[in-house]
Amino acid sequence: MLWLMVGLFAILVALGTPLAFAIGITGLFALVQSDGPSLIRLVPMRLFSGIDMFSLMAMPFFILAGDIMNRIKITDRLVDLANAVVGGVRGALAHVNVLVSVFFAGLTGAAVADTAAIGRMMIPAMASQGYNRAFAAAVTASSSVIGPIIPPSIIMVIYGSLMQVSIAGLFAAGLIPGILMALSLMGYIAFRARRDDLPVANLRGDVPPLSVALRRAIIPLMMPVIILGGILGGVFTPTEAAAVAVLYALLVGLFLYRNLGLRDLVTMLYDMVRASGSVFIILAAASILGWVLARQGVPQQLADFLLGISDDPLIFLFIVTLALLIIGMFMEMTAILIILGPILHPIAVSLGIDPLHFGIVMVVNLNIALATPPLGACLFVASSVGKVRFEDVAWRILPFILVEIAVLAAIVYVPAISLTLPRLLGLG
């Protein structure tokens, strides 16, 4: 039965069936084949229970807050700040690209949105200063995957909701790995700058001094401070923090910058419903498939298989990491998380792996997949925004992917990287 389900799912995906329908149809097929049509009446209940989680409400709020901050054109301020920090070093604009991704990470929590927003400004700017356009697009795509690692993160909200892991703890656990990822990318850029004699240049001639740039950027940078400070300080839950983020973004756009109109809000609400609705449909459909798999003992069979290879936690993490990197090259990361997360998480916990540590390993894994060919979403967006061939970007991004995999290996085998901050804050 399992192989029939895998085959049906693969055929549906190959035919271009929307992912939610492919998952749902596979679950219904397995349900009818194993238990007969009598259990079909339970499907509506399972669909609802799959999304009946209060913490999931944080996702549409974070999406809306990020859209508002993008719409009110805070990109220039963040670029000026990054340029004021590293504008005088060789390969300056490539470093600026990475730093802006770090700043944006605290606003949007979505890698693809960061790629689009940052790429529209940074790729043409880098090209005008003499950078290879494909290289500029590769820097943008590879650095954008930092977005969902540094909190707030939409994918962490989904993971914490499904696996009943503290979302606040995941946010704290992702901070150091995200910064480490950024520093590693900048280290590689510094190496390339010396080797390839990348230019030393400012983005514009009128870039303000650091103190002025910081003062201009303090308003957008306060949003992640309020979100994380409130969550980690116990002032509000992640869902409440997401609502506060929307309120803050609205106040900034409507009353401070005054560049946000009613028509913009309508458009952003529509986009928020589409983005969050697509994920909710996948979650609902996956609850049917997960229920059928559990009834047939598939999670236990997979656990027995993996534990039959080795019960060493490090070997288990190595196998999971390798599998996720390969699967992520061909499948959307939210679907991987929803399908495999509930199966792999209990096995990891049974082996004594900290739930926060395993959660960060999965999140980093899946985010790297966003920049890996052939189906990396960030690659497609960067090539489109940068007006460069996808194949050229895919070739140029490979060294950056290797750097990110090296950081992932450090996170996997040095749990303190992700667990130190949550434990210091009492969230471990």
From first to last of its 428 residues, the chain has per-residue pLDDT tens of 667 777 888 888 778 777 778 888 887 777 777 665 556 666 777 777 777 777 778 878 888 887 888 788 777 777 778 877 776 778 888 888 898 888 877 776 677 777 877 887 788 888 888 888 999 999 999 998 898 898 888 889 889 988 989 988 999 999 999 999 999 999 999 999 888 887 775 545 566 677 788 888 888 888 888 888 888 777 888 888 888 888 988 998 888 888 888 888 888 888 888 878 877 887 788 777 777 777 777 767 777 777 788 888 999 999 999 888 888 877 777 778 888 888 899 999 999 999 999 999 999 998 998 888 877 778 888 888 888 888 899 899 999 999 999 999 999 999 999 999 999 988 76
Q: What is the value of pTM for the model shown?
A: 0.82
Which tokens in the block code for residue 399?
């060294």
Yes or no: say if 174 and 367 are a contact pair by the CB < 8 Å rule: no
Write down how long the chain is.
428
